[in-house]
């Protein structure tokens, strides 16, 4: 999944973001979700984001009981989010690699749930 938040003020990107968030609202009503991919938005810092895009994602996830597991990772625009019922009480460990961004312009991110 790729979320177009980098220029959400452009009508095209706002429509794309709205479609993805509406799907989250619809699916989370009956299903547990795993949402991962390129969000084009950092949450742990101001590395890459738009205020309105960040707020829209945070609001959707809060209302739908979705935990953004990678929200505190810096310089991170690829994220992993899970419905709260999938991670309640679990230990979460986050691994990051490609921190120097030699392999890609994104760093790698993985979550271990135990």
Query: Token digits for 26?
Result: 């619809």
pLDDT tens-digit readout, 1-42:
445 544 455 566 778 888 889 999 999 988 899 999 988 899
The count of structural domains within the chain is 1
In a domain, 96, yes or no: no
Confidence (pTM): 0.86
For residues 46 and 57, give the distance between their C-alpha atoms in angstroms, rounded to a whole number.
Answer: 15
In a domain, 101, yes or no: no
In a domain, 110, yes or no: no
In a domain, 6, yes or no: no
**Is residue 67 helix, strand or coil?**
strand
In a domain, 93, yes or no: no
In a domain, 22, yes or no: yes
At how many degrees (to 10) do helices 51-63 and 11-28 cross? 10
In a domain, 75, yes or no: yes
In a domain, 61, yes or no: yes
For residues 87 and 84, give the distance between their C-alpha atoms in angstroms, rounded to a whole number.
Answer: 5
State the residue range of the domain holding 38. Answer: 11-84
pLDDT tens-digit readout, 35-82:
999 888 999 999 988 888 899 999 999 999 999 999 999 999 999 999
């Amino acid at each position: 999944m790729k979320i177009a938040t980098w220029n959400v003020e452009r009508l095209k990107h706002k429509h794309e973001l709205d479609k993805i968030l509406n799907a989250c609202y619809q699916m989370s009503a009956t299903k547990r979700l795993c949402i991962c991919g390129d969000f084009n938005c950092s949450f742990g810092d101001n590395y890459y984001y738009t205020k309105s895009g960040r707020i829209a994602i945070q609001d959707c996830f809060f209302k739908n009981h979705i935990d953004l597991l990678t929200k505190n990772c810096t310089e991170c625009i690829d994220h992993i989010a899970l419905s709260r019922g999938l991670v309640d009480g679990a230990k979460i460990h986050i691994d990051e690699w490609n921190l120097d961004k030699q392999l890609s312009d994104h760093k790698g991110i993985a979550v271990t749930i135990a």
